[in-house]
Structure 1
């Protein structure tokens, strides 16, 4: 699994504890042959950080501070690899609540301590110094910056937008590169237009925010004189008619509990009013939006598409969850009474 993530292990399920790294032990093989396709995966970066720590013989947090953050003058940047550490002036993150009796927002907890793909605490001012390093290298040199921008290539010869932790793109005719991030309720984006030498940084602590869209909106203000005129916006979708309305759903078909052997986690589908919602003990609850017969979408990025699977008798036997990083994660339906028996008492 290279930096460009040409082939990836099942689901991003890993156990991080200090220097112990147990990657995806329950994963059922790869999503595709290495090099044939591309999907983003956090696990590669967490593994890379562990390699740096072991080869450098010091915590990744300290290695980055000494060799990257301090030379660039990023005084307010650190990797948060201890979830009990108190950081003065830090922001916490939130998400909108579906239970208004508990308030409009709930806290989104960053409840683990691994670094590499996540857990970077920083500021807009510090990230501006990181962007400037591409044009005026202090850390690394021109060859380093060139290599970071090198696009990945598939085995069939096609190049992909992804480089070394940077994504290439175009916006209204202008080339840019950058990256976005999301964890707990934090959302972030860096977009840099090298030819025009404009960089845009958006940091947000509300899960429903769209920092990538906001960065491009700001770019439109500053780069309007350089941009190509876009095509007219496509016509809005036609309203539902008897021919294209989603099939009527029988909610009782889906209500139940579902277990993932890979994640060792249970998700519940329950009915609330006239709608269905997906529930998890840690993530909370989210509405299930019908897309078509036996297919739903949610606002959780890690469960963006959910397909119900039926058996020969037309009963729902499980779910397959997919998103931009995972395909067809299997959750089997549990019997309604699977936990009806009493647990054994201690010492018995």
Structure 2
């Protein structure tokens, strides 16, 4: 008589346990819903988000419009451009082909792309994928030619531009410098080895096996992408189209849905190819022995005691992010079509909501208040990139930021222990160390070193000797340097005029990152024969004086 009673009791307890568990999860999802609703509203560009746990999608939600002109909402079938999240697909393919014996990640790039035989050093395929190759970045090279992201440039046109590179920014392996050139060239290597278009290789080796039937690599902005989310930005309180037309494969280019990208996250959680993903998560070691927490298309760090593996992407108004917490087989996938930093906030706030019990809160800073005298040690001029300089000053117990050569200054609120918020760009801060600081912007970190500048006035320099027409034969573009209102100006057929300011004799700078500093070179007779241009992800590109 007791057995049936015991059985019924156990079944009831089991039911109540499942009910309670479902009830707890339901409350969790309501919290995530509230989080999304706090950032996005109907009638505006928005996001698609999914949460994957132990190989299953346990949460999916979409908010906002894919097309504002026709009022088409974002759904789980909406296709987004995922920008740099594409890099992990290229890296996966490269390592997969290495396992199959079709290439080695230690191969010399020049072996596969003989057009680059003039490069002075061996660059390995691994260095292409971990951003230690030293090659100039494709977007800055395009800007030099007057091509912005809104201008049309196909993948094939970008490849042809990159195959004309003759110089590198630094010896391969000496530095980590994130850019897109390495992955475009890696995709070209893969394409030549397999003998098929890169788009077909992705489809055959990744998309079709995983059932990602609504994913494709787009190499030309003229291609029609069904159910496409359009790119937008908010300007002066109004949304406008934010075109993105430079299409490249390898570093970017994949268009996909939230459902398809969730399948890629599930593949990461319990893939038969764990050996490949493990290699993609190995730290990058520089020639100096210093390690960087970037592997092959994947980054990793400690976040409040949790080991997270992640990568983000952003082109024009498109935003994408994948974050994994491997220990808990937990992933978040997010896609958006508005050019803000909200997706980054949402991903980490969701981790805080759902995995709080496993987190360790960071220690509170010891030093949160500074006197003017204490802040004086941070004062100085700092170089971020060639031509990009900041002044840091202290007064009234407050640290101030100022772009070099300007008069306006902005306060930097204290976070603590040498960290200061940079509230003018979301998710940004300055972390000071002796004679430098790290400028954190989202997942990026830029090292800014203290420098001494004593720039002369333009009126004290003979500007006439710098005027003339200068040409880069490698990238087939021409600038004319002229004088207007006692100011040296670089004039280009497509770019806006660029004001040049003297840093020292025979050296000028501008406030354009792609046109940072110009070092003029003279012959034995003292006549200028060229200038060498350096900037963000560019170093010593020669422009010969032709007139």
State the TM-score, normalizing by the size of structure 1: 0.68
Q: What does residue range 235-254 of structure 1 map to in structure 2 within 5 Å?
A: 241=395, 248-249=406-407
What is the rounded CA distance, in whole Å, between the counterparts of 2:166 and 2:322 in structure 1? 34
What is the rounded CA distance, in whole Å, between the counterparts of 1:91 and 1:225 in structure 2? 36
Residue 244 of structure 2: aligned partner: 109
User: Residue 181 of structure 2 is aligned with which of 24, 30, 43?
Assistant: 43
| Alpha-carbon spacing, 1:240–1:150, altered in 2? closer, same or farther (3 Å) | closer
Report the CA distance between 1:228 and its aligned residue: 0.9
Report the CA distance between 1:195 and its aligned residue: 0.8
Report the CA distance between 1:130 and its aligned residue: 0.9
Residue 22 of structure 1: aligned partner: 160
What is the rounded CA distance, in whole Å, between the counterparts of 1:234 and 1:265 in structure 2? 50
Residue 358 of structure 2: aligned partner: 226
What is the rounded CA distance, in whole Å, between the counterparts of 2:532 and 2:458 in structure 1? 14
What is the rounded CA distance, in whole Å, between the counterparts of 1:259 and 1:116 in structure 2? 33
User: Residue 6 of structure 1 is aligned with which of 132, 138, 153?
Assistant: 132
- 1:127 equivalenced with 2:261 (yes/no): yes
- 1:188 equivalenced with 2:320 (yes/no): yes
Mark the runs of 5 or more structure 2 residues left unpaired by the alignment: 1-122, 143-152, 376-391, 408-456, 462-468, 481-490, 500-507, 522-530
Deviations 1:35-59 (A, max 9, x none): 1221123122112222222222221
Q: What does residue range 1-348 of structure 1 map to in structure 2 within 5 Å?
A: 1=123, 2=125, 3-12=129-138, 13=141, 18=156, 21-22=159-160, 24=162, 27=165, 29-97=167-235, 104-112=239-247, 114-137=248-271, 141-230=273-362, 231-232=364-365, 241=395, 248-249=406-407, 261=472, 303=513, 322-323=535-536, 326-327=537-538
Residue 343 of structure 1: aligned partner: none
RMSD between aligned alpha carbons? 4.8
What is the rounded CA distance, in whole Å, between the counterparts of 1:200 and 1:178 in structure 2? 9
Report the CA distance between 1:21 and its aligned residue: 3.3
Report the CA distance between 1:16 and its aligned residue: 5.8
What is the rounded CA distance, in whole Å, between the counterparts of 1:265 and 1:241 in structure 2? 46
| Alpha-carbon spacing, 1:26–1:81, altered in 2? closer, same or farther (3 Å) | closer
What is the rounded CA distance, in whole Å, between the counterparts of 2:341 and 2:458 in structure 1? 30
Q: Secondary structure at the match of 1:228?
A: coil
| Alpha-carbon spacing, 1:307–1:105, altered in 2? closer, same or farther (3 Å) | farther
Residue 344 of structure 1: aligned partner: none
Deviations 1:70-117 (A, max 9, x none): 1112122111123222111011212344xx59x5423222243x3111
Report the CA distance between 1:267 and its aligned residue: 9.8
Q: Kindly indicate whether the alpha-carbon contact (under 8 Å) linking 1:148 and 1:165 is maintained by their aligned counterparts in 2.
A: yes
What is the rounded CA distance, in whole Å, between the counterparts of 1:41 and 1:80 in structure 2? 19
**Structure (1 or 2) with the larger CA radius of gyration:** 2
Q: Kindly indicate whether the alpha-carbon contact (under 8 Å) linking 1:36 and 1:154 is maintained by their aligned counterparts in 2.
A: yes
Which has the higher mean CA deviation after the structures are superposed, 240-249 or 73-82?
Answer: 240-249
Mark the runs of 5 or more structure 1 residues left unpaired by the alignment: 269-278, 289-293, 312-317, 339-348
Q: Kindly indicate whether the alpha-carbon contact (under 8 Å) linking 1:152 and 1:161 is maintained by their aligned counterparts in 2.
A: yes
Residue 108 of structure 2: aligned partner: none
Q: Secondary structure at the match of 1:10?
A: coil
State the TM-score, normalizing by the size of structure 2: 0.46
Report the CA distance between 1:191 and its aligned residue: 1.2
Q: Kindly indicate whether the alpha-carbon contact (under 8 Å) linking 2:324 and 2:330 is maintained by their aligned counterparts in 1.
A: yes
Report the CA distance between 1:310 and its aligned residue: 11
| Alpha-carbon spacing, 1:80–1:226, altered in 2? closer, same or farther (3 Å) | same
Report the CA distance between 1:118 and its aligned residue: 0.8
